[in-house]
Structure 1
Amino acid sequence: MNEWFELRQRLKCKETIDKVAYEQFKKEKDYWKQVIIRIVALVKFLAKYGLAFRGTNEKLYQKGNGYFFGLVEKLEEFDPIMKEHVRRVLNEECHVHFLGQNIQNVIELLGDKVRTEIIKKVKQAKYYSIILNCTPDTSHQEQMSIIVRYVNFNSSSMTVEESFLGFLVVDDTTGLGLFEVTCKELESLGLDIGDMRGQGYDNGVNVVSKRLQSKDVVLDVAIDEVGKLIKFLKNYREVGFSKALDEAGEIANEIGVNAEFRKKRLKTLNEAKLKECCYRLQDALKYEGESDIDAKELYTELNLTNTFLPRHVDNSFDVLDYIFQRSTTYPNVINAYKVLLTIPVTVASAERSFSKLKLLKAYLHSKMSQERLNGLATISIKSEILDTMDYKELIESFASKNARRTTLFA
């Protein structure tokens, strides 16, 4: 007991026998953390602007060593941490320096972190839609871009987002082939196909859509019922539709309201018609015996919300935002509007991702691995997500994937 009390006292005073060794270890740990922070920052910069990392060689202070080594050399002129790191590398004092091909680990890490954040938001939203489109790359591989559309809620605002999740190599471009690749990817991402509420394709739409619907996914029929219900309420409240619905083809034409009609206000509400819309919507959103909404409760909530919504709230997005920011006691109304806003209008997001594909996998980089391509594309397209992340979180993730240096970051 005396020995234990003495040890405890020494620990409190930080006067143990390995004090010097521990301080040296802590100093080395802090050094490597600072090195990784700078390397992560350089990777984010190059990936964000679609710049090539490697040149004709991978040696410092040699001609043609590429943008990454060029930035390291420039940073070394002003930053003492990077100056010390470059000195160690040039003097061969360290074998693992994260300036060579191991930089691939950082690219994949950052891409994975972005996708993880997106999936977290999608699961929080629950309902989502997918947008798919295909194009051949420089190496003549068919690449399918997968985009997920969802309503993103946070403490300060609500947004409808279409987020890029990656490129998938597709060997079979038939409807069956796209269907199988899509289902496999959704499963690997941890997304429940039962929560899908819409689809957007540039080709293969009929076959893929029908195959997905054959899995009891609630899709196009829900669009019509949500639209009819929203039309009924909009007409009553003298409110117009969102621009997205105005562009939604046949659906928008069916539920759209012209400018002259918007000026008129209906004085009475047809309760029977409203109830009919609610029950039809409940049936349309039913999956495995359960529905996203309860028709009876939805009817009651709609009557209540109609009494306090201000007249200037003039589209579906603003209605949902207004209700969500002020009250969460109307779950059925919120779900109905969420499904409406989740429905994709165009496949423009997938088309835009192809511009990054052509920039990243150019002729001189035609042998780029699929993992590196997806990492770079995800960082470039969704760089704003990385900007909100703490470097400490990124470093911890990096340490867990690099066993040889894990103890330094413990």
Structure 2
Amino acid sequence: MSLIIRYVDASSGSFCIEESSLGFLDVNDTTRQGLFDALKNELKTLDLDIDNLRGQGYDNGSNMKGIHKGVQSKVLKINRRAFYSACGCHSLNLTICDMAKSCRKASDFFGVIQRIYTTFASSTKRWQILKNNISGVTLKSLSSTRWESRVDSVKAIRIQLPEIREALLQVAEIDKDPSTSSEAQSLAENNLCDFEFLVSIIIWYEILSAVNLISKELQSKDMLIDIAIESVKGLISFFTKYRESGFSKALEAAKEIAKEMDINPEFRTKRKIKRKRQFGEGADDPSIVSQSAEESFRVNYFLHIVDQAIVSLNTRFEQYEGYE
């Protein structure tokens, strides 16, 4: 467990807010009580009076943030002025994870992103082929604990789609391993040439870029709680507006890329599954009107992840409202 303290330094005659990392604590007992005891003992060892504590912040683990039995509640029982605030950046990370896991299409999208990275990264020869084709941002692996890796991973492909496809085609042609060759061919000709993937990568790049901007602000050394609240509100406002206009703009951007890569700028129409019409249903009954492939993508994917973001942000940052 890492221990970081923020304090007011008045030694120079003026008041200055400082932040220092005091190191890592070797914790074997990760229960609520075990973590609390480790924290309390370390503060005592450092000769820091817990009664002088005016704030506490942890990740979103229930053993830390629990309002009844978590570490924060145990500290509050000793010192009622040690107000708790969840780590804003970790909350943003969990929001992104909520979105990425909210529907099958989102999970599949990041699965493709990781497959592209793995294809090149598992061989120095294939990695060199990649480097020979790109001149900008290199590919990054995904990480569930470091959400910013999603930004890096998506950005690298978003701005270099034609080059990465060409690198995959070269791997497919010269790699002697049939499995690797087949995987590279599939990624280049099926996934990267799928208009749905193009729209997805534009949507995710815009979303992740917006979240990354707020994350950087929340990590600022001089960040104040009222500014943090406004930043989170601004992010929620972004998603609300993006919900209304983001899809159409993403479509236009995807069509430009599709034209450059000679890809058909249309969503693939899946085979319709007919169901038996029930007694009393007419041919034009609204309940049996099928959606177009584009509308289905907008409703079941785009709106789904954006709505998930709004709900998750409101839920994970609702505690901030109590500090306004």
* TM-score, reference length from structure 2: 0.25
Richer in strand (by share) = 1
Q: Larger RCO: Structure 1 or Structure 2 (Cα < 8 Å, ≥ 6 residues apart)? A: 1
